[in-house]
Amino acid sequence: MPLSRKTEIPNSNSDYYYQPQGNEIELFEYAYSHQLPLLIKGPTGCGKTRFVTHMADKLDRPLYTVACHDDLTAADLVGRHLIGPNGTYWQDGPLTKAVREGGICYLDEIVEARKDTTVVLHPLADDRRMLPIERTGELLTATHGFMLVVSYNPGYQNILKGMKASTRQRFVAMRFDYPEPLLEQQILIGESQIDQLLASKLVELAGALRRLESDLDEVVSTRLLIYAGRMISSGMSPQEACRSCLAEPLSDDISTVVALMDVVKLYFDN
């Protein structure tokens, strides 16, 4: 059976925009050159996944991305036996593929995975760099170039969903946040192909929404701003784009959406 709710993204060398926020590229390259696993912490939509994709492209390594969730099992990462026309055969999971190929395995929102699943990472995230495959009896040593990268949103951590200290301390770590206003404007212009004035207004709006005291679980992300910019650049009215890309994704509560749109109207009066 196919791996449930898993996304594999082989690196494609496609041309896309990435704007560094600090020294994250240099830190990633140091970790890669020393074969160290990397942990990226940051809020939703701040560019963690785009950054890993950019680095895989820059280093010319295959990239396997796994969106972690409650039902993720060790077999989803390592692999499983399947039944085909010629009988039973073994299919590598994304983690095993990356280990064999010397690629990058990126586990997005690692805290969403069960703790008994993430234990499989321990021998890969220390000096051993080994992956035992119990079902086949293999003991794989990671090919040179293999890198394990995980990420999570610290704002979601609680007693039940948090990264075990014994796992977290095996990683070099970096922290992402939403960009400073001028940098966020550059990102919007590069990603959405909008002009400076519109990018400035969207970033100012995002700042106002982020400062609101509300019951929102999340604030406006750079990703959502990019979506709004693209919709406006294609002809949608700014208010409607902000409703569909900013207000509605942030809340199901009608009164909260109305309050968010009241702020939007201060910046876009159409």
**Per-residue pLDDT tens digits for 9-66:** 444 444 567 889 899 999 999 999 999 999 999 998 999 999 999 999 999 999 999 9
> Residue 219 pLDDT > 70, yes or no?
yes
> Looking at residue 27, what is its pLDDT?
97
pLDDT category, 159, cuts 50, 70, 90? very low
> Looking at residue 75, what is its pLDDT?
92
> Residue 3 pLDDT > 90, yes or no?
no
pLDDT category, 1, cuts 50, 70, 90? very low
> Residue 163 pLDDT > 90, yes or no?
no
Average pLDDT for the chain: 88
* 160-174, 191-205, 247-261: least confident range: 160-174
SS (H, E, C) the chain: CCCCCCCCCCCCCCCCCCCCCCCHHHHHHHHHHCCCCEEEECCCCCCHHHHHHHHHHHHCCCEEEEECCCCCCHHHHHEEEEEECCEEEEEECHHHHHHHHCCEEEEECHHHCCHHHHHHHCCCCCCCCEEEECCCCEEEECCCCCEEEEEECHHHCCCCCCCCHHHHCCCEEEECCCCCHHHHHHHHHHHHCCCHHHHHHHHHHHHHHHHCCCCCCCCCCHHHHHHHHHHHHCCCCHHHHHHHHHHHHHCCCHHHHHHHHHHHHHHCCC
